[in-house]
Amino acid sequence: MALPFGGNLFPPGSRPIVSYDYFDISNGAGYDVYYGANISGGYITTTVPIIGSSNIKTVSGGTNLGNTDYRAIFQDLDFDIQFNLPRNIKGAILVNVPLGAFGANEAQHVFMFAEVEVFHVVNGAEVSLGSNKSPALAGADNIGQQTEDLVSHDVLCKINVAKLEHFKKGDILRFRVNGWFQTSNGGLDGMMCLAHDPAGRPDRPEVYSNEDGDLVMGNKMISDTDSTQLSFHVPFVIDV
């Protein structure tokens, strides 16, 4: 039986159907949410929030941390999104970053914040679209009391892309995440972590590589009341 249509069901040249996780109708944007994860040899993004990261968090520490300046514990952790279709981005990019930190003793107070910079990458060349920092928040005082004094935060960074940014097929949207750490007393040690588990599993003690390259058992550093999802909310221009 012939269909009662005068043309093809799928005419040549028709635009592909695009879906979004949620909308900001007032600004004409559809948001997709991407999640950061750790794999062997690096970091990736995924849109599937049931995938488990190889490690729930990345842990790092330092010695002789001073109290006058923040120290970059995590530098240049890159999470890339490569587009297979042309896309247009405009509006507020939102990034949730789960952080945890410990000082070396009870007398030491520690503070932490996240910094995120966004890049448009074309043929390996980076063009910054902006950056922002989260507020500085307090961590736990004593690394030896992680079960009683566990303090972590799911901080938010907002990067506004004011002008339409066009991404061609093959272009990359890159998120560079930095973690900053400070202690209240100079000369003391500390540890900091950044979680990145798309599945949002509770944190647990994990083996990690310290500054000397030795494998050691780390502490649980993210509270069960905080998410372990590192999420990137990207505003795409809605075609009308």
Q: What CATH code is carried by the domain that includes residue 171?
A: 2.60.120.260
The pLDDT value given to residue 49: 94
Quick: pLDDT tens for 51-69: 999 989 988 776 655 555 6
Residue 114 covered by a domain: yes
Report CA Rg, the chain.
Answer: 21
Residue 188 covered by a domain: yes
Judged against a pLDDT cut of 60, whether residue 151 lies above it is answered with: yes
Residue 212 covered by a domain: no
Closest CA to 117 of 154, 165, 78: 78
Distance CA 69, CA 71 (A): 6
1 contacts: CB under 8 Å, gap ≥ 6? none
pLDDT band, very low/low/confident/very high, at 24 (cuts 50, 70, 90): very high
Q: How many CB atoms lie within 10 A of CB 232?
A: 23
Quick: pLDDT tens for 65-98: 555 566 666 667 999 999 999 999 999 999 999 9
Judged against a pLDDT cut of 70, whether residue 11 lies above it is answered with: no
Structural domains counted in the chain: 1
Residue 215 covered by a domain: no
Distance CA 126, CA 115 (A): 17
Distance CA 33, CA 95 (A): 10
Residue 136 covered by a domain: yes
Domain, as residue range, for 56 = 30-141+153-193+224-237
Residue 133 covered by a domain: yes
Which two structure tokens, joined as six digits, stand for 8? 């093809």
Give the range with max mean pLDDT: 104-118, 179-193, 226-240. 226-240
The DSSP symbol for 238 reads P
Which two structure tokens, joined as six digits, stand for 222? 């993210």
Q: Find the helix or strand (DSSP H, E) in which 72 lies.
A: strand 71-82
Q: Are 81 and 176 in contact (CB under 8 A)?
A: no
Residue 66 covered by a domain: yes
Residue 9 covered by a domain: no
Which two structure tokens, joined as six digits, stand for 215? 């494998």
